[in-house]
Amino acid sequence: ILADLTPGNLKYTFFTNSGTESVEGALKMALLATGRRTVIAAVGGFHGKSLGSLSATSKYETKRNKND
């Protein structure tokens, strides 16, 4: 039903339970759709704490292991 309400040829919809999962899914879809291996992210933005979203985070304190 959601795909029917959106413009274009949207065939799939996926639901997430957090912003981190949303960012992770968006990164994966963008990489698959474009074939590119890089993304652009906002400097100083927090994109979540999953592997993909951490790679888009510019804050060192967020990326580093607390045990380092």
Instruction: Give a yes or no: residue 58 inside a domain.
Output: yes
Instruction: Give a yes or no: residue 68 inside a domain.
Output: no
Full domain range(s) for residue 20 = 2-63
Domain count, the chain: 1
Mapped onto helix, strand or coil, the DSSP state of residue 50 is: coil
pLDDT per position as a tens digit, 23-67: 888 888 888 889 998 888 777 777 777 777 777 776 655 545 555
- Residue type for 14, please? F
Instruction: Give a yes or no: residue 52 inside a domain.
Output: yes
* pTM: predicted TM-score of the whole model, two decimal places: 0.63
